[in-house]
Amino acid sequence: MFIGHFAPAFAASALGPRAPGLGTTFLAAQLIDWAFFSFAIVGIEKVRIEPGATVMVPLDLYYYPFTHSLLGAGLWALAFALAIFMSRKNAFAGALAGLVVLSHWGLDWVVHRPDLTLMGGEVKYGLGLWNYPAIAMPLELSLALGGMLFYLKRTRGPAGPPIVLLLALLVFQGINWFGPAPIEADLFLHLQALLAFAVLTLMATWVGENRRFVRRGGLAVPNP
């Protein structure tokens, strides 16, 4: 799953002026993959190309216990929640940000073949919807677009930035689905992924800075 991970980011940022900003929740949504691709670059976690691993994704994610075990994801979520709480003195924002991080594991469980673990053990989990594009593709689009519409409905601002972000999400997802399959899980592949996350996070930050919550009486309140 790629842009579907941002559905919880949109939803969390829509929960009022004390919720974390959209740039923060976009970072949270892909924090697990930020860590994974960074670890893969230096060999801490491992991935290889296996044509036919799933119908949609030719990646054999055969060793990533520090980021994609449920325990690992929970620790990343806790660390991120504490960082947001300490930096903003806002427990609500910290809790929401942590939940967005943790949502990554659950959404991956839906689409991955059994390669996720609870604590890095031998038993693997995953429903494998990447083997069923007719289900996985509409699901991913529905999640991302539904989350974005929820966020836009609860905030006010110019139409331009969200449209640009939406187009970027669709372009990146289109490349992910229909672009040439990678030949090797090399440095270029890892840097591509990190660059995509960075671009989308910067765009989300831009969108969030131009959106406001409207309280009763018409007072506009920014999302921090």
Cβ within 8 Å of residue 67, ≥6 positions away: 32, 33, 35, 36, 39, 45, 73, 76
Q: Determine the 3-state secondary structure of 47 from DSSP.
A: strand
Spatial separation of the C-alpha atoms in residues 100 and 27, rounded to whole Å: 9
pLDDT at 65: 97
Which strand (E) or helix (H) includes residue 165?
helix 160-178
Q: Which amino acid is at 147?
A: G
Using alpha carbons, select from 58, 94, 77 the residue that is nearest to residue 189: 58
Residue 100 CB coordination number (10 Å): 30
- pLDDT of the residue at 62: 95
For residue 203, the surrounding DSSP H or E stretch is helix 187-209
**Structure confidence at residue 214 (pLDDT):** 76
Q: What are the angstrom distances between the C-alpha of 190 and each of 9, 184, 199?
A: 23, 10, 14
Return the pLDDT at 223: 67
DSSP conformational letter for 158: -
From the first residue on, what is the mean pLDDT of each consecutive set of 10 residues in the chain (224 residues)?
96 96 98 98 97 96 97 98 97 98 98 97 96 98 98 96 98 96 94 97 98 68 65
- CA 36, CA 39: separation in Å to the nearest integer? 5
